[in-house]
Amino acid sequence: MGSSQNISTPITILNTIIAESLDYVAEKIKKSAQGKGFNSTVLQVVAQIIKETKDIRFEGNNYSQEWIKEARTRGLANVASTYAALGALTKKENTALFQRYKVLSGEELVARYHIWVHMYNLTLEIEANTLNEMVNASIVPAGFKYQKLLSDNLAVLMALKKGGTKINNAALSDQKEHLNEVVSKIYYVRRNANDMIRLLEKAKEMDNERRARLYFKELKPLMEHIRKHADVLERVVSDDSWDLPKYRELLFIK
């Protein structure tokens, strides 16, 4: 579970599933026990259930690409998005399960679905706005500061070369290339951040379900792009110019 999540919800769901499973096994044993010994009947039913549930048992890494391929081969659902996974709460067979065991009514499940979709949207909006603030208040200014350092240094070298000082052409080209990399990364961070803000504005006109779909398909990839380019900047911008703690400082130094 994530640190912000309440463990009671998954436990409620798992216990309800277990209750149904125990009823299923007990009913199988009762039907098969006619004229047979109890132990042999149990072994027979267990063997049958092991065969029935073969497709859902996987001994590998469920977070790997291997599992994604395997799930597809086995015809199993592998829902990667929270907003899509929440839709399971409103499926008729799932609603019927919770109603049958008097755990949650259909109305209660639908209410939880809408609340959790809203929470999903709200969490992503907070993260996106925080990211935008970090970009504009810290990352881009730090990039501009380092960009000026590089451009000033390059201008001095070009002036010296023009004045007759021997400067290695390959070294000059390397500095130009490095400056271009930094300028490009700053541009991509700003461009994606601006696209992100425009997307948030567009989402305000949508209902929660459409907004959640948009956030998963478009907002999260935009945030990943910003993160990718910001990470590259972090690795090249000098410590003096970078206000935020760097990963190596968080992990190994500070």
Question: Residue 223 belongs to a domain with what CATH number?
Answer: 1.20.120.1560
**Do residue 130 and residue 71 come from a single domain?**
no
Using the structure block, give the residue that is written with the tokens 């478009």. Answer: 218
**Do residue 240 and residue 117 come from a single domain?**
yes
Q: What residues contact residue 241 under an 8 Å CB cut-off, 6+ apart?
A: 142, 145, 146, 149
**Do residue 148 and residue 243 come from a single domain?**
yes
Domain containing 52: what range?
8-78
Q: What is d(CA 91, CA 123) in angstroms, rounded to the nearest whole number?
A: 25
Question: Which pLDDT value is given to residue 253?
Answer: 66
Helical residues (DSSP H) of 205-254, grouped into ranges: 208-214, 220-236, 247-248
Q: What is d(CA 181, CA 176) in angstroms, rounded to the nearest whole number?
A: 9
Q: Answer whether residue 197 shows pLDDT above 60.
A: yes
| Predicted confidence band of residue 6 (pLDDT cuts 50, 70, 90) | confident
The stretch 237-241 carries a mean pLDDT of: 85
Question: Which pLDDT value is given to residue 99?
Answer: 96
Report the domain count for the chain: 2
